[in-house]
Amino acid sequence: MIELRSVAMSYGGTELLSDMTLKLMAGSFHFLTGPSGAGKTTFLKLCYAELMPSGGQLNLFGQDVRDLGRDDIAMLRRRVGVVHQDCQFLDHLPLLENVALPLSVAGRAVDPQELKDLLGWVGLAGQARALPPQLSGGERQRAALARAVILSPDILLADEPTGNLDWEMSLRLLTLLVELNRMGKTVVIATHDLNLIRAAKAQVPARVLRIQNRRLHLAGADL
């Protein structure tokens, strides 16, 4: 699904990530950890071709990202769902319309029943008409997850999805992520939350990647 060969990433001549080699197989579940500023968000941005690597080779779905044109990237974005750290809602649009937004962007018709089912799955059936600022942090994260999966992506990337949530809400979100993985989706979650990782490992064979000193490491089983 995602394959890196000696990938490097620099901002303005400063190398943030170096020599990262990794294969993320279809259906795998990975956490991405590392100190704040280590490059977790940057790594995720590489994985949905928001950023291009400054060195090495990055293949997404078997295609070198450097060979992708604008249309290819638009197609690729439909196969990679992203839950951004700040959710990125349009605050003047009701939740339902925010969640459905990727459909209209992709030129696909909205199936009201499908949308209703999706909101029900994340436990927000009753909040369809609410505006994003009226939702709690946990509700916003679950809404962002619904929006990220509405185009049935193969890969789901989530950036600190439980960053502002209490433990109960974190577990609720984790349950949804595990369900997606059990449906065959490849899941990558950037997080600082070791308890979340432990809870996930009790449910799925999750692996832990760590960015440290610009390199990507596969963490041991001691977490």
Residues in touch with ligand ADP (CB under 6 A):
11, 16, 34, 36-42, 85, 159
Closest CA to 223 of 187, 215, 210, 27: 210
Q: How far is the CB of 12 from ligand ADP (least distance, A)?
A: 6
CA–CA distance from 111 to each of 70, 96, 100, 128 (Å)? 27, 12, 9, 15
Chain centroid to CA 113:
25
Q: How far is the CB of 98 from ligand ADP (least distance, A)?
A: 19
Q: How far is the CB of 202 from ligand ADP (least distance, A)?
A: 25
Q: How far is the CB of 213 from ligand ADP (least distance, A)?
A: 13
DSSP assignment string, 88-124: ---TTS-HHHHHHHHHHHTT----HHHHHHHHHHTT-
Could you give the CA distance from residue 25 to residue 170 in angstroms, rounded to a whole number?
25
Tell me if residue 198 falls in helix, strand or coil: helix
Task: Identify the H or E element spanning 146.
Answer: helix 137-149
Q: How far is the CB of 137 from ligand ADP (least distance, A)?
A: 15
Could you give the CA distance from residue 187 to residue 80 in angstroms, rounded to a whole number?
10
Encoding tokens for residue 185? 């989706």
Q: Kindly tell me which of 147 and 210 has the beta carbon lying closer to ligand ADP.
A: 210
Q: Kindly tell me which of 127 and 210 has the beta carbon lying closer to ligand ADP.
A: 210
Q: How far is the CB of 218 from ligand ADP (least distance, A)?
A: 17
Q: Kindly tell me which of 37 and 120 has the beta carbon lying closer to ligand ADP.
A: 37
Q: Kindly tell me which of 28 and 33 has the beta carbon lying closer to ligand ADP.
A: 33
User: How many other C-beta atoms can be found within 10 angstroms of the C-beta atom of residue 147?
Assistant: 25
Lateral strand order in the sheet of 14-24: 14-24, 2-11, 55-60, 63-64
Q: Kindly tell me which of 38 and 58 has the beta carbon lying closer to ligand ADP.
A: 38
Q: Kindly tell me which of 34 and 161 has the beta carbon lying closer to ligand ADP.
A: 34
